[in-house]
Amino acid sequence: MANPLPLEAEVGVIGAGAMGAGIAQIAVQAGHRVHLFDTRMGATDQATTKIGEALVGLAAKGKLARADADAAIARIVPVHALGDLVSAKLVIEAIAEDLDVKRKLLRELEVVVVPEAILASNTSSLSITALAAGLKHPGRVVGMHFFNPAPVLPLVEVVSGLATRSETAAVVYETAKAWGKVPVHAASTPGFIVNRCARPFYAEALRLLAERAADPATLDAVMREAGGFRMGAFELMDMIGHDVNFAVTRSVWEAYFHDPRFTPSVFQQELVAAGFLGRKSGRGIYGYDANASKPEPRTESPQVRPARIRVAGDAAMTNGLRDRLTASGFDVGKMAADEAIAPSYLVVDDAFVVPCDGRTATTIAVGGGQPGVVVFDLAYDYGQCTRLAIARADTCTDEAAAAAIGALQAAGIAVSRIDDVAGLAVMRTVAMLANEAADAVTQGIASARDVDVAMRNGVNYPRGPLAWADTIGLDHVCTVLRNLAAHYGETRYRISPLLARRCATRAPLGE
């Protein structure tokens, strides 16, 4: 196993913006002397001041001893020429996300630092292979992708290009760990782990909006309150900035030769064209001016508690909802399942309440010969969720829909009805996240463990997508994807080879 960079080794950070300053703060807190460089006049001094304020703030909150804060501040050395980085053993660049600009910088650095010094790029999407190409020592170039804000978010993607030496990646991995971060290894491919595997979180939400399945506030509420995500996709895109989010999606799509799985949204393109970029522009999906108020999600009005509930079959989603209903005082009886409807479902008075399997409620109703079908969405935890999305078949009567809604409300769950779209909201998103994660493992971009670790720590998902697929059941995830592919007639929903293979062998997808 490699050792981390020794504390006596000096670190260079190039770029004194938010990311560069954050990385410098991490390194000085860990005990390294950091030389901070930026070509902009006064930028390093401003960053040093901000780092000092941040460290003093941590000390005031009791998260850092004041003596340690003062010592860390003293280790920040603003420098004014690349030549001042000559003694650095690790140089991390955090400059503009431009391949040519970064390559020029690396060529200049190569003649400044010693041959054994590591050159790391904080790029979020550029090829490490391309950055290192043409250098005399390409094996020492590695990606060290921090997430913003760097002092707060734990993940660091350690990205190896084709020429990166394994020893280089290992030292950077152990150094990130010694700095209190959660590192993962990734191969240099478009988007690395997080920016690739997270694309469906945005893409499926934008597709649902394009299909007018529900308004953004409702879709966001369902993802938070049922899916367990910290933010809904529209809230998150507004925070990131639609220009940034759209640019990342487009770059991944182009890098993968226009794979339909990564197709950008025309609606998001229009938002960018209009200048509706989100929080930073005062308007995005939502308004952010002084008079703006966030719209409320659509919630069904109270319905009468149903008289009778029975459970048919045995499946994870059905059982999760059954247990919630039982805990709410319902006497849930048992009955044989009609496979023409689904392998498992609930019968609430005259309503057939079916777990989402990627089909529309109307398709299930017509195929099963039962008009009163209501489909319910996936929840991270049916025992704790506060909201659930449903869709009713076009053939479903108001009375049957009211019975289904009343049962959920009696169990303490707010109900948001969305249009009868295939896959609903949480189910289709999680299935696609798991599928994309499985493809990343298939293609050797990262291990199953590192993919799940990256998604939990980089974007705060409640569960790694591969582990989530195991929890749902790989058979069910594959069924959802097949039904989505049949519904849309697109290769966008094709099943990853690894997911298909593990589904056939009953082996878990995660590690």
Instruction: List the domain boundaries for the chain.
Output: 10-188, 196-281, 309-417
Mean pLDDT of 185-214: 97
Q: What average pLDDT is seen over the chain?
A: 96
Q: Is 195 a catalytic residue?
A: yes
- The fold adopted by the segment(s) 196-281 is N-(1-d-carboxylethyl)-l-norvaline Dehydrogenase; domain 2 (1.10.1040)
Report the percentage of the chain scoring pLDDT > 70. 100
For the segment 228-265, what is each residue's pLDDT rounded down to a tens digit? 999 999 999 999 999 999 999 999 999 999 999 999 99
pLDDT tens-digit profile of 7-36? 999 999 999 999 999 999 999 999 999 999
**Is 242 designated active site?**
no
Q: Which of the following is catalytic: 195, 265, 416, 496?
A: 195
- Catalytic residue chosen out of the listed positions 157, 204, 225, 235: 157
Q: What is the dihedral of CA 206, 212, 216, 217, to 10 degrees?
A: -150
Per the annotation, the verdict on 281 as an active-site residue is no
Question: The tokens of 421 are what?
Answer: 């779209």
Per-residue pLDDT at 1 = 77
Q: In this predicted structure, what is the pLDDT of residue 125? A: 85
| CATH superfamily, domain at 10-188 | NAD(P)-binding Rossmann-like Domain (3.40.50.720)
Q: Which of 121, 124, 160, 496 is catalytic?
A: 124
pTM: 0.96
Q: Which helix (H) or strand (E) holds 455?
A: helix 448-458
Helix axes 199-210, 233-240, angle to 10 degrees: 110
374-431: pLDDT as tens digits: 999 999 999 999 999 999 999 999 999 999 999 999 999 999 999 999 999 999 999 9
Segment 143-170, tens digit of pLDDT: 999 999 999 999 999 999 999 999 999 9
Confidence of residue 292 (pLDDT cuts 50, 70, 90): confident
Q: Which residues contact 299 (CB under 8 A, 6 or more apart)?
A: 387, 414, 415, 416
> So what's the pLDDT on residue 236?
97
- Asked: is 309-417 a CATH 1.10.20.60 domain? The reply is no
pLDDT grade for 510, boundaries at 50, 70 and 90: confident
Span 319-346, pLDDT tens digits = 999 999 999 999 999 999 999 999 999 9
273, pLDDT greater than 80? yes
Mean pLDDT of the 2-7 span: 95
Tens-place pLDDT, residues 345-361 = 999 999 999 999 999 99
Left, alpha or beta for 329 (phi > 0: left; psi -120 to 50: alpha)?
left
Find the catalytic residue in 145, 185, 242, 476.
Answer: 145
| Exposure b/e, 183-207, CB count within 10 A at least 16 = b | bbbbbbbbbbbbbbbbbbbbbbbbb
Tell me: pLDDT of 511 over 80: no
